Amino acid sequence: MQEIINLVNTEGEIIGSMEKLEAHEKGLLHEAFSIFIFNKNKELLLQRRALTKYHSGGLWTNTCCSHPRKGEDLNMAIHRRMIEEMGFDISSLRKVYSFTYNVALDKGLIEHEYDHVLVGDYINEIIKPNPEEVCDYKWVSIEWLKKNSETNPQNYTEWIKIIIKDENFLKALST
């Protein structure tokens, strides 16, 4: 069965649903989320997407990213995907902001998302990435990530390159 996701308007209000791949083929605006988990040293847990992912395979990105399914609450989706992708859940996440972006991806797909950005604190959880989702992970500073993504943009997903430069995101990290 193909995953059905929420189509949204520019305000993030659900206006319909569609199979995930079809939404990316047509470039229709849909709901997504991007989770950034930091350790006590203020380092971000990055994941490298599995090479077999339907887009952006092998690229480094934030800790967890996905879409709520049709009829699924955003909060439920976030916790489901943390477990599915990274093998652990996070008890406390805070929403930083939401934004819309529209970029061309590999394989002729289009990422047109209303993306909820969330941050949380890592508390000694055992990281057990699902190899169908994640092929590697590492902890990095935001400063290192910003420099490295500018020097080697081909190694990173489009959304992480946008988010780590966003003033709303950077402001939230300093609070």
| Nearest CA-CA partner of 118 in 87, 151, 90, 157 | 90
Collect all residues with Cβ–Cβ distance below 8 Å to 65 and sequence separation of at least 6.
Answer: 32, 33, 34, 35, 81, 157, 159
Active-site position among 31, 85, 111, 113: 113
Q: Give yes or no: 72 in active site.
A: no
Per-residue pLDDT band at 1 (split at 50, 70, 90): very low
Catalytic option among 31, 64, 65, 133: 65
Q: What would the pLDDT profile of 20-34 be if each residue is shown by its tens digit?
A: 999 999 999 999 999
Q: Is 65 a catalytic residue?
A: yes
Confidence (pLDDT) at 106: 84
- Quote the mean pLDDT of the chain: 94
pLDDT of residue 172: 85
CATH superfamily of 4-173: Nucleoside Triphosphate Pyrophosphohydrolase (3.90.79.10)
> What pLDDT, on a 0 to 100 scale, did the predictor assign at position 124?
85
- How confident is the model over 77-122, as pLDDT tens digits? 999 999 999 999 998 899 999 999 999 988 889 999 999 999 999 9
Q: Which pair of tokens denotes residue 87?
A: 């093998």
Domain locations in the chain as residue ranges: 4-173
